[in-house]
């Protein structure tokens, strides 16, 4: 019976993904899965899903096991996913394109969790305007969304990257780096951003609220694994939106959930709620579906692809911003249709919105 159910689910998932030109090669069916995440306000729910047993409950519903693993270094988490050590990983739209997709790993945006609306920012020491960044060393996670944010910020004050020097710094080290006298400019994300901004002499001079909807936080999964194991996608999505309905409330359960996430990220409830205030969370799956279906998403990814190509981050052999193909709802594509490696598929979120999981 389980095999028949899985087969029927696979057919339904294939039909739903047909407009995204899903690959015909499938990974093997399996029952044990692992996804990873790193510290960020919009990804703290993944740790809580593991600790609270919500993930286990939804996995058991489909007769599978899903382990959610925290990795302290953001880029390393993506690298491990790309290497096949995990079936899914929390990452941004840009990093999904530049690392797994550009590396040849066919990847699907399963859950659009939020977009940064002030959670990524640039901080200068003893200086109050962005233009004063000229000539400085700027510490950030190179080739990440921090790099993207910096480039967008520089454009706004008619500066170029040649006017500053990027210093690659792990997110695990950036707070400590900022405390040293030699570091005068950093770009990072919350909760690290809030911690740095609170230090004496620190001034936030630009943040992602100036470019809303461009830095998107997503649970990405391996496309072939998802196609062969649709129950994996259903369990993840079901667990995620159960927690979204809990944490979005100010009742006892909601406060308890957010407090646990706050403590896990090194802050308190007030601090975590402040971070959520600068995060456009999609608590309702229907809102995430609507965002995925918007034409603006295609425009954003075109802009991202052009940024990556211009900065030499789109992978070896990339001869244009169209090197990696992307698929969107309604059969729309961007880039090389013979090399589609990044897919925005709202079908599982639609199931959550319709209550059919």
Domain covering 120-210 in this structure, CATH number: 3.40.190.10
Nearest to 111 by CA among 233, 197, 16: 233
What tens digit of pLDDT does each residue of 215-230 get? 999 999 999 999 999 9
pLDDT at 25: 47
**In angstroms, rounded to a whole number, what is the distance separating the alpha carbons of residues 276 and 118?**
10
Domains 2-116+214-354 and 120-210 equal at CATH topology level = yes
What tens digit of pLDDT does each residue of 276-300 get? 999 999 999 999 999 999 999 999 9
pLDDT at 27: 73
**In angstroms, rounded to a whole number, what is the distance separating the alpha carbons of residues 267 and 284?**
25
**In angstroms, rounded to a whole number, what is the distance separating the alpha carbons of residues 232 and 229?**
6
Domain boundaries, the chain: 2-116+214-354, 120-210
- Residue 120 half-sphere exposure toward CB, CA atoms < 13 A: 30
Nearest to 59 by CA among 222, 224, 229, 234: 234
Domain covering 2-116+214-354 in this structure, CATH number: 3.40.190.10
Exposed/middle/buried for residue 210 (C-beta within 10 Å: 0-12, 13-18, 19+): middle
pTM of the full predicted structure? 0.82
**In angstroms, rounded to a whole number, what is the distance separating the alpha carbons of residues 204 and 128?**
8
pLDDT in tens, the chain (357 residues): 222 222 233 323 333 333 344 444 457 899 999 999 999 999 999 999 999 999 999 999 999 999 999 999 888 999 999 999 999 999 999 999 999 999 999 999 999 999 999 989 999 999 999 999 999 999 999 878 899 999 999 999 999 999 999 999 998 899 999 999 999 999 998 889 999 999 999 999 999 999 999 999 999 999 999 999 999 999 999 999 999 999 999 999 999 999 999 999 999 999 999 989 999 999 999 999 999 999 999 999 999 999 899 888 887 789 999 999 999 999 999 999 999 999 999 999 999 999 999
Q: Is 117 helix (H, G, I), strand (E, B) or coil?
A: coil
């Amino acid at each position: 019976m389980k095999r028949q159910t899985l087969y029927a689910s696979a057919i339904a998932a294939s039909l739903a993904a047909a407009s995204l030109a899903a690959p015909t090669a499938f990974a093997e069916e399996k029952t044990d899965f692992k996804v990873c995440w790193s510290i960020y306000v919009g990804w703290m729910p993944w740790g809580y899903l593991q600790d609270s047993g919500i993930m286990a409950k939804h996995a058991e519903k489909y007769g599978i096991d899903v382990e959610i693993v925290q990795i302290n270094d953001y880029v390393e988490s993506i690298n491990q996913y790309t290497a096949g050590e995990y079936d899914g990983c929390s990452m941004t739209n840009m990093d999904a394109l530049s690392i797994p997709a550009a590396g040849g790993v066919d990847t699907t945006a399963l859950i659009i969790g939020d977009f940064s609306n002030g959670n990524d920012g640039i901080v200068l020491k003893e200086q109050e305007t962005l233009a004063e960044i000229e000539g400085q060393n700027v510490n950030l996670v190179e080739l990440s969304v921090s790099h993207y944010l910096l480039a967008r910020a520089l454009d706004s004050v008619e500066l170029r990257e040649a006017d500053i020097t990027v210093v690659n710094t792990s997110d695990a080290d950036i707070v400590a780096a900022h405390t040293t006298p030699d570091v005068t400019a950093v770009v990072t994300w919350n909760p690290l951003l809030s911690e740095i901004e609170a230090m004496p002499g620190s001034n936030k001079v630009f943040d992602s609220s100036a470019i809303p909807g461009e830095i998107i936080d997503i649970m990405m999964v391996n496309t072939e694994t998802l196609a062969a194991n649709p129950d994996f996608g259903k369990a993840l999505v079901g667990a995620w939106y159960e927690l979204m309905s809990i944490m979005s409330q100010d009742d006892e359960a909601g406060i308890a959930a957010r407090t646990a996430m706050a403590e896990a990220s090194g802050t308190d409830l007030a601090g975590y709620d402040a971070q959520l205030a600068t995060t456009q969370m999609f608590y309702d799956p229907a809102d995430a579906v609507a965002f995925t279906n918007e034409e603006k998403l295609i425009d954003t990814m075109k802009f991202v692809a052009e940024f990556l190509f211009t900065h030499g981050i789109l992978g070896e052999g990339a001869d244009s911003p169209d090197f990696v193909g992307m698929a969107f709802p309604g059969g729309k594509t961007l880039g090389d249709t013979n090399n589609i490696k990044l897919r925005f598929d709202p079908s599982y979120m639609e199931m959550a919105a319709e209550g059919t999981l």
